[in-house]
């Protein structure tokens, strides 16, 4: 299996970009190609895979139970967290090494300074995997780096 | 953009209660005076919540289970049945036939003695319906009684573990026995496929189970194969020598069905020539054969003439099999008789495709967990859907019959 | 006082008099279900020839009819649609609105690239920006249902938490009183409330079993979605200057208020954005012009069927308007069967390798399409294809297709890579939850030798396709407890 050329990966990303923007109304979008795009204080090395960083219109899956945050009425909801999106194609098979290197290049979410279990789950690194298939459907999965207790609902 | 998974919960048709751990409190409830009602499936708690309520509930359930298991099991004089295990013949000989189980289990030989297969024996012993003994042994000579030439005969009872140890291998393995007992406990009547019988006594059966050799395929007379070939043969036109000639030449088509017929690609049915590959291939054990014939329970069931089986079951272990290849699938189907045409015609389109010409249930056992799946020999190619809207006034287009076959009653 | 009220009444009456026509938008009377039988009457985008009516006792009609029977006018292929192959999406894109409509209506070909199935992005966008004429789309209906469900789940979680809290407090109090962990009378949680919520949530869940089904017939599926007409798309002519809400491909669609003073989604003031703004009394409605970002995307199998089997599609590339020849299309599709695409050099028509996933998938696609089924992608249910009897608007897909290649005629190749059982079990479980029957479609692939020379024969490709043998096996989970009858 040949390794994906950069242009193919960029094509893949532009499909996901269009989908996020126009079908799902994501905002504050930034394209990530090198490490510097994520963190200014790093090298200019290319990322293992080109990615997207953006804000969904509503907060995506929150591992905390729904009841803990529902007191705010809908008009007071804070803006949703930004997410890292990784485009992949349905027919690709990624190795564990690739997944690991994608996560390694991401910053740990804020507030995870205190280790331990407690607030650990919500502060695990996570990405949104965007699976592109030939009929134009993009299927999205949330992937955490490590085990996260599933939410009851 | 929502993170929306599939609908929560299971459709009732999918609930297999054997997947769940039973709650023995309900048993206690039923058996107490006055009786309880049959419980419905409840909700599982998501996680430990640290309440006494939860841990007390769990304790109650656990205690109810131990309670139920600790009950002493016994036979009464009237219902006691005994048998002896014959290790060479690998069958158990029944001494007194008691109980209703023998209506659908065991075989009597010419002398009227009832014999049980190893799985039947294990099932009955486990259930507490039968006590099994080792073959007669001669005890040691008693020096105190020299006039007895032979020692005292000893009949040693076998524990459940002993029965397992003695009989399991002859059943064909733990997976086969697990499926056997699972089906029996669910109420079915289960016989081995006669090909799998090692004893003469059980090999002759009084019912038809084999598929007749595939003679003239009355089925496919109206299939697309013939029509397809005819229509495609009559199409002349420009494009000779063109491998990419369009399948639908421009023209005046009077119905969409006509167009669809042009689009049909004739292809042969899957056929098998015995592969003469390397010697290694030939010695490969074929696991895809029918293991059990199964009947739904009915009051007038006769062991000698039960009629054709309701289900054919093939037992597989996940340790040494995977999804069958086309050859293995075909081989398995070949042994199963097809549904008769009259019944087949009565079925609607969807039901016909789901049941297929014939079907077999694959029971895959994964470390004790059994999953049953019905594999049906569906032939989508037998029938083309109706593609033209009906003539005015005849109602909505649906699909009742194939194009050429007699109309199917819904 | 009296005056004011009289005035008020008069004004009210006046408003009322003009009010009725004012308040009633001219287009929609009662929301009507679209007549799918009429819209989707043609299963293929090929023209049918209707013989003129025969009047048996009229000799001229008889002769005419006979003549036409033997020498029919060539009718069927009046339209050829043009699609563009895009290496970005690895598919064929259709952008012309008439073609999009035709292809969707006559056989449900393709999928809206920004929609769940039928291309509705333009309508959704227009409604989002306040247009009142356009009907509600299926996406919006589904969205509303999901939001309802989410609310109920939140409610349920809150109630459960409350109950748990109550129990904990009661137990803590118990401990204080008795000074020990007591096994006293257990406090039964008020599970009734929770169970009721559960049932409601389940009720909502059950009405959404298939995401790709455009209009589940509920009361809300009222307004038909009129197709995007061409005049709404020509916005860049500059006539309406800043009045046009133009969503280009670069800008990010944060909610853009139309340039008038009324906020979106409130049909307050009249705002007309097209160039034919008339000055006479205009009803209260809003029309929004948006540039369509969506195209109809054809899977490679669909495009090939339309191009090769039916001959109604021509395919170009972005580089040149000259349509590709069928051999070129074939090679292009063979290369793009996987990601990343195969290099040009790996595909040869003369030394052809039939073990190519595009072709294997195509064989199956063609097989079911030619039997009359509507075949769509099965990615949402982790299968290869879904089969619909007439189309997604008529019924849910009954069958979920899994393609299993088989290499029985190949030397040295393991006949089957043999999937593990758990793979099959997980797919069967997923599909039985949505009431679909999984069908394994074994495709026995011919060897390269078997197909040699095809590229020089008439109907060579058809012969090649015929050499793939197909066998279907339907699967159902069998539960002993439920099959006793």
- Cβ–Cβ gap B1/A57 under 8 Å: yes
Q: Rounded to the nearest 10 degrees, what angle do helices B52-70 and C138-178 cross at? A: 80
Calpha distance C206→B6 (Å, rounded): 10
Which of C198, C293, C337, C379 is the best residue to mutate to test the A interface, defined by the most A CB atoms within 10 Å of its own CB?
C379
- SS3 state at B144: coil
A82 closest CA partner among A64, A115, A106: A106
Ranges of each domain in chain A: 6-60+78-108+121-144
Of C49, C205, C406, which has the smallest distance from its Cβ to B325's Cβ? C406
**CA of C416 to nearest chain A CA: how many angstroms apart?**
19
**CA of C468 to nearest chain B CA: how many angstroms apart?**
8
Instruction: Give me the residue label for tokens 């989508």.
Output: B380
Which of B2, B3, B5, B6 is the best residue to mutate to test the C interface, defined by the most C CB atoms within 10 Å of its own CB?
B6
- Cβ–Cβ gap A135/C91 under 8 Å: yes
- Cβ–Cβ gap C471/B366 under 8 Å: no
Q: How many CB atoms lie within 10 A of CB A25?
A: 18
Of C186, C310, C419, which has the smallest distance from its Cβ to B56's Cβ? C186
Instruction: Give me the residue label for tokens 């407890």.
Output: C481
What confidence tens digit (pLDDT) does each residue in C4-47 have? 444 444 444 444 444 344 444 455 455 567 788 888 988 999 88
Please name the residue of chain C whose CA is at the shortest distance from the CA of residue B325: C416
- Cβ–Cβ gap A140/B47 under 8 Å: no
Using a CB-CB cut-off of 8 Å, the residues of chain B touching A58 are: 1-2
Calpha distance C310→C325 (Å, rounded): 15
- pLDDT score of B107 more than 70: yes
B365 closest CA partner among B237, B181, B192: B181
Q: Beta strands of chain A (E only): which ranges?
A: 27-34, 46-55, 83-89, 126-132, 138-144
If you average pLDDT over residues C367-386, what whole number do you get? 95
Using a CB-CB cut-off of 8 Å, the residues of chain C touching A69 are: none
Q: What is the pLDDT of residue B279?
A: 45
Ranges of each domain in chain B: 22-38+56-67, 79-139+150-171, 172-214+278-400
- pLDDT score of C400 more than 80: yes
Q: B186-200, C1-15, C225-239: which has the highest mean pLDDT?
A: B186-200
Calpha distance A111→C440 (Å, rounded): 49
Calpha distance C390→C108 (Å, rounded): 9
- Cβ–Cβ gap B1/A152 under 8 Å: no
- Cβ–Cβ gap B243/C460 under 8 Å: yes
- Cβ–Cβ gap A27/C254 under 8 Å: yes
Would you say A105 and A38 are in contact if contact means Cβ atoms under 8 Å apart?
yes
Structure tokens that stand for C219 in this block: 């009361």
Least confident of A71-80, B70-79, B285-294: A71-80
- pLDDT score of C183 more than 50: no
Q: Give per-residue burial for C180-216: e unless 16+ CB within 10 Å, then b.
A: eeeeeeebebeeeebeebbeebeebbeebbbbbbbbb
Of all residues in chain C, the percent with pLDDT exceeding 70 is 69
Q: B230-244, B247-261, C124-138, C301-315: which has the highest mean pLDDT?
A: C301-315
If you average pLDDT over residues B41-45, what whole number do you get? 74
**CA of B72 to nearest chain C CA: how many angstroms apart?**
28
| Residues of chain A below pLDDT 50 | 1-2, 67, 69-70, 112-118
Calpha distance B355→C294 (Å, rounded): 42
Ranges of each domain in chain C: 138-206, 348-485
Calpha distance C217→B183 (Å, rounded): 42
Q: Which stretch of DSSP H or E encloses residue B374? A: strand B369-378
Q: Does A62 touch chain C (CB under 8 A)?
A: no
Higher local confidence (pLDDT), C246 or B25: B25
DSSP for residue B157:
B
Question: Does a cis peptide bond (omega within 30 degrees of 0) precede residue C340?
Answer: yes
Higher local confidence (pLDDT), C249 or B249: B249
Please name the residue of chain B whose CA is at the shortest distance from the CA of residue C416: B325
Of B254, B354, B397, which has the smallest distance from its Cβ to C49's Cβ? B254
Calpha distance B205→B193 (Å, rounded): 10
Calpha distance C215→B227 (Å, rounded): 38
CATH 3.90.110.10 fits B79-139+150-171, yes or no: no
Interface of C with A in 150-169 (CB under 8 A): 153-154, 156-158, 160-161
Q: What is the pLDDT of residue C481?
A: 83
If you average pLDDT over residues C269-277, what whole number do you get? 44
Residues of C with catalytic function: 388, 396, 436
**CA of B252 to nearest chain A CA: how many angstroms apart?**
32
**CA of B59 to nearest chain A CA: how many angstroms apart?**
24
Q: Does A66 touch chain C (CB under 8 A)?
A: yes
Class in CATH terms, B172-214+278-400: alpha beta
Query: Mean of the per-residue pLDDT values for chain C?
Result: 75
Q: Give per-residue burial for B229-263: e unless 16+ CB within 10 Å, then b.
A: eebbeeeeeeeeebbbbbbbbbbbbeebbbbbbbb
Calpha distance C92→C333 (Å, rounded): 10
Using a CB-CB cut-off of 8 Å, the residues of chain A touching B47 are: 152
- Cβ–Cβ gap B3/A140 under 8 Å: yes
Calpha distance B193→B172 (Å, rounded): 12
**CA of B364 to nearest chain C CA: how many angstroms apart?**
8
Written in H, E and C, the secondary structure of chain C is CHHHHHHHHHHHHHHHHHHHHHHCCCCCCCCCCCCHHHHCCCCCCCCCCCCCCCCCCCHHHHHHHHHHHHCCCCCCCCCCEEEEEECCCCEEEECCHHHHHHHHHCCCCCEECCCCCCCCHHHHHHHHCCCCCCCCCHHHHHHHHHHHHHHHHHHHHHHHHHHHHHHHHHHHHHHHHHCCCCCCCCCCCCHHHHHHHHHHHHHHHHCCCCCCCCCCCCCCCCCCCCCCCHHHCCCCCCCCHHHCCCCCCCCCCCCCCCCCCCCCCCCCCCECCCCCCCCCCCCCCECCCCCCCCCEEECHHHHHHHHHHHCCEEEEECCECCCCCHHHHHHHHHHCCCCCCCCHHHCCCCCCCCCCHHHHHHHHHHHHHHCCCEEEECHHHCCCEEEECCCCCCCCCCEEEEEEEECCCCCCCCCCCCCCHHHHHHHHHHHHHCCCEEEEEEEECCCCHHHCCHHHCCCHHHHHHHCCEEEEEEEEECCHHHCCC
C439 closest CA partner among C397, C394, C406, C395: C397
Calpha distance C194→C394 (Å, rounded): 36
- Cβ–Cβ gap A12/C253 under 8 Å: no
Q: What is the pLDDT of residue B153?
A: 67
- pLDDT score of C125 more than 60: yes
Least confident of B387-396, C233-242, C433-442, C452-461: C233-242
If you average pLDDT over residues B151-158, what whole number do you get? 76
Q: What is the pLDDT of residue A96?
A: 94
Query: Mean of the per-residue pLDDT values for chain B?
Result: 79
Interface of B with C in 236-275 (CB under 8 A): 239-256, 259-260, 263-270, 272, 275
Using a CB-CB cut-off of 8 Å, the residues of chain A touching C254 are: 27
- Cβ–Cβ gap C76/B259 under 8 Å: yes
- SS3 state at A38: helix
pLDDT category at B74 given cuts 50, 70, 90 is confident
Higher local confidence (pLDDT), B63 or B6: B63
Q: What is the pLDDT of residue C203?
A: 58
Q: What is the pLDDT of residue B239?
A: 59
Q: What is the pLDDT of residue A106?
A: 92
Please provide the CATH number assigned to the domain covering A6-60+78-108+121-144. 3.40.1350.10
- pLDDT score of B196 more than 70: yes
C348-485 CATH fold: Trna Endonuclease; Chain: A, domain 1 (3.40.1350)
Would you say C313 and C81 are in contact if contact means Cβ atoms under 8 Å apart?
yes
Q: Does A74 touch chain C (CB under 8 A)?
A: no
Of B3, B46, B47, which has the smallest distance from its Cβ to A60's Cβ? B3
DSSP for residue B22:
P
ipTM of the modeled complex: 0.86
Of C143, C437, C457, which has the smallest distance from its Cβ to B243's Cβ? C457
- pLDDT score of C258 more than 70: no
Neighbours of chain B (3+ CB pairs under 8 A): A, C
- Cβ–Cβ gap A22/C160 under 8 Å: no
- Cβ–Cβ gap B1/A60 under 8 Å: yes
* B241 Cβ contact list (under 8 Å, min separation 6): C456, C457, C458
If you average pLDDT over residues C373-399, what whole number do you get? 93
This prediction's pTM: 0.80
Please name the residue of chain C whose CA is at the shortest distance from the CA of residue A29: C252
Higher local confidence (pLDDT), C229 or B280: B280
- pLDDT score of B382 more than 80: yes
pLDDT category at C208 given cuts 50, 70, 90 is very low
Please name the residue of chain B whose CA is at the shortest distance from the CA of residue A138: B1
What confidence tens digit (pLDDT) does each residue in B224-264 have? 444 444 444 444 555 578 899 988 888 888 889 989 999 99
How many residues belong to chain A? 153
* C195 Cβ contact list (under 8 Å, min separation 6): B43
Give Dmax over CA atoms of chain C in angstroms: 110
Q: Rounded to the nearest 10 degrees, what angle do helices C357-370 and C326-335 cross at? A: 120
Calpha distance B274→B248 (Å, rounded): 38
Q: What is the CB-side half-sphere exposure of residue C398 using CA atoms within 13 A?
A: 15
CA C473-C475-C481 angle, to 5 degrees, is: 145
- Cβ–Cβ gap A135/C154 under 8 Å: no
Calpha distance C454→C348 (Å, rounded): 12
pLDDT category at C164 given cuts 50, 70, 90 is confident
- Cβ–Cβ gap B43/C454 under 8 Å: no
Strands B91-94 and A138-144: unpaired
- pLDDT score of B276 more than 60: no
Q: Does A60 touch chain C (CB under 8 A)?
A: no
Please name the residue of chain A whose CA is at the shortest distance from the CA of residue C158: A67
pLDDT category at B204 given cuts 50, 70, 90 is confident
Q: Give per-residue burial for C413-450: e unless 16+ CB within 10 Å, then b.
A: eebbeeeebeebbebbebbbbbebbbbbbbbbbbbeee
If you average pLDDT over residues B44-61, what whole number do you get? 87
Using a CB-CB cut-off of 8 Å, the residues of chain A touching C110 are: 135
Pairs of CB atoms within 8 A across A/C? 94
Calpha distance C249→B325 (Å, rounded): 49
Calpha distance C76→B252 (Å, rounded): 6
């Amino acid at each position: 299996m040949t390794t994906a050329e950069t242009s193919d990966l960029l094509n893949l990303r532009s499909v996901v970009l269009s989908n996020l923007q126009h079908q799902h109304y994501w905002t504050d979008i930034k394209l990530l190609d090198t490490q510097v795009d994520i963190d200014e204080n790093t090298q200019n090395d290319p990322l293992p895979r080109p990615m997207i960083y953006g804000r969904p219109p509503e907060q995506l899956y929150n591992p905390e139970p729904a009841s803990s945050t529902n007191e705010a009425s809908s008009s007071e909801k804070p803006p949703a967290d930004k997410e890292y999106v990784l485009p992949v194609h349905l027919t690709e098979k990624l190795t564990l090494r690739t997944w690991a290197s994608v996560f390694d290049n991401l910053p740990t979410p804020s507030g995870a300074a205190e280790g331990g279990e407690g607030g650990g789950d919500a502060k695990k690194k996570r990405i949104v995997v965007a699976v592109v298939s030939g009929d134009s459907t993009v299927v999205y999965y949330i992937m955490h780096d490590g085990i996260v207790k599933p939410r009851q609902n | 953009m929502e993170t929306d998974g599939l609908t929560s919960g299971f459709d009732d048709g999918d609930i297999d209660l054997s997947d769940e751990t039973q709650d023995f409190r309900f048993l206690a409830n039923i058996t107490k005076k006055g009786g309880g009602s049959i419980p419905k499936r409840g909700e599982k708690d998501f996680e430990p919540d640290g309440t006494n309520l939860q841990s007390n509930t769990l304790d109650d359930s656990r205690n109810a289970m131990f309670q139920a298991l600790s009950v002493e099991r016994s036979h009464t004089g009237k219902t006691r049945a005994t048998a002896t295990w014959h290790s060479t013949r690998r069958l158990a000989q029944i001494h007194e036939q008691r109980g209703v189980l023998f209506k659908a289990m065991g075989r009597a030989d010419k002398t009227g003695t009832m014999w049980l297969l190893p799985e039947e024996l294990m099932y009955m012993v486990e259930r507490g319906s039968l006590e099994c003994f080792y073959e007669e042994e001669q005890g040691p000579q008693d020096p105190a009684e020299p006039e007895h030439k032979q020692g005292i005969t000893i009949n040693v009872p076998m524990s459940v573990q002993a029965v397992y140890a003695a009989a399991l291998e002859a059943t064909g393995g733990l997976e086969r026995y697990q499926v056997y007992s699972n089906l029996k406990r669910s109420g079915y009547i289960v016989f081995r496929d006669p090909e799998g019988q090692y004893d003469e006594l059980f090999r002759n059966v009084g019912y038809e189970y084999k598929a007749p050799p595939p003679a003239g395929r009355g089925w496919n007379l109206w299939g697309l194969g013939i029509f397809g070939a005819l229509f495609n043969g009559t199409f002349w036109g420009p494009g000779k020598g063109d491998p990419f000639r369009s399948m639908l030449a421009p023209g005046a088509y009077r119905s969409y069905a006509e167009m669809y017929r042009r689009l049909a690609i004739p292809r042969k049915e899957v056929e098998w020539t015995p592969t003469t590959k390397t010697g290694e291939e030939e010695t490969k054990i074929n696991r895809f054969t029918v293991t059990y014939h199964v009947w739904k329970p009915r009051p007038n069931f006769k062991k000698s003439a039960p009629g054709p089986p309701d289900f054919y079951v093939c037992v597989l272990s996940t340790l040494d099999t995977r999804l069958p290849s086309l050859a293995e699938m075909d081989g398995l189907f070949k042994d199963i008789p097809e549904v008769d045409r009259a019944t087949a015609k009565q079925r609607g389109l969807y039901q016909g495709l789901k049941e297929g010409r014939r079907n077999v249930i694959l029971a895959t056992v994964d470390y004790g967990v059994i999953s049953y799946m019905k594999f049906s020999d569906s032939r989508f190619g037998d029938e083309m859907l109706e593609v033209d809207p009906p003539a005015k006034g005849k109602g909505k287009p649906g699909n009742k019959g194939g194009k050429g076959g007699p109309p199917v009653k819904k | 006082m009296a005056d004011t009220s009289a005035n008020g009444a008069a004004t009210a009456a006046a408003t009322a008099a003009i009010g009725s026509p004012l308040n009633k938008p001219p287009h929609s009377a009662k929301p009507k279900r679209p007549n799918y039988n009429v819209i989707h009457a043609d299963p293929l985008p090929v023209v049918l020839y209707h013989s003129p009516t025969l009047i048996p006792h009229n000799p001229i009609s008889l002769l005419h009819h006979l003549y036409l029977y033997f020498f029919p006018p060539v009718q069927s292929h009046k339209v050829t649609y043009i699609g563009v192959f895009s290496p970005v999406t690895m598919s064929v894109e259709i952008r012309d609105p008439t073609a999009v409509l035709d292809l969707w209506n006559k056989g449900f070909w393709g999928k809206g690239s920004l929609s769940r199935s039928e291309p509705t992005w333009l309508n959704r966008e227009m409604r989002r920006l306040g247009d009142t004429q356009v009907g509600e789309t299926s996406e919006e209906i589904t969205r509303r249902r999901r939001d309802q469900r989410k609310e109920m789940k939140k409610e349920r979680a809150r109630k459960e938490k409350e109950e748990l809290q109550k129990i904990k407090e009661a137990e803590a109090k118990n401990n204080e009183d008795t000074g020990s962990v007591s096994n006293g009378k257990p406090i039964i949680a008020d599970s009734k409330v929770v169970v009721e919520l559960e049932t409601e949530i389940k009720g909502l869940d059950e009405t959404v079993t298939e995401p790709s089904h455009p209009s589940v017939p509920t009361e809300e599926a009222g307004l038909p979605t009129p197709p995007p007409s061409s005049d709404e798309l020509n916005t860049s002519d500059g006539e309406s200057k800043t009045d046009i809400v133009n969503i280009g491909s670069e800008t990010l669609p944060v909610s853009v208020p139309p340039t008038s003073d009324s906020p979106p989604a409130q049909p307050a003031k009249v705002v007309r954005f097209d160039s034919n703004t008339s000055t006479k009394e205009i009803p209260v409605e809003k029309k929004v012009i948006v540039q369509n970002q969506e195209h109809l995307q054809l899977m490679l199998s669909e495009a090939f069927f339309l191009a090769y089997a039916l001959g109604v599609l021509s395919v170009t590339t972005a580089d040149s308007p000259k349509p590709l020849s069928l051999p070129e299309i074939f090679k292009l599709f063979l290369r793009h069967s996987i990601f990343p695409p195969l290099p040009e050099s790996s595909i040869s028509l003369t030394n052809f390798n039939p073990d190519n996933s595009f072709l294997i998938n195509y064989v199956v696609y063609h097989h079911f399409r030619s039997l009359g089924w509507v075949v769509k992608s099965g990615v949402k249910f982790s299968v290869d294809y879904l089969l619909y009897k007439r189309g997604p608007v008529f019924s849910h897909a009954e069958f979920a297709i899994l393609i299993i290649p088989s290499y029985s005629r190949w030397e040295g190749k393991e006949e089957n890579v043999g999937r593990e059982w758990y793979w099959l079990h997980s797919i069967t479980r997923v599909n039985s939850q949505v009431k679909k029957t999984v069908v394994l479609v074994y495709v026995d692939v011919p060897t390269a030798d078997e197909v040699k020379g095809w590229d020089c024969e008439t109907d060579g490709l058809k012969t090649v396709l015929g050499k793939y043998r197909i066998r279907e096996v339907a699967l159902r989970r069998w539960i002993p407890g439920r099959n006793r009858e």
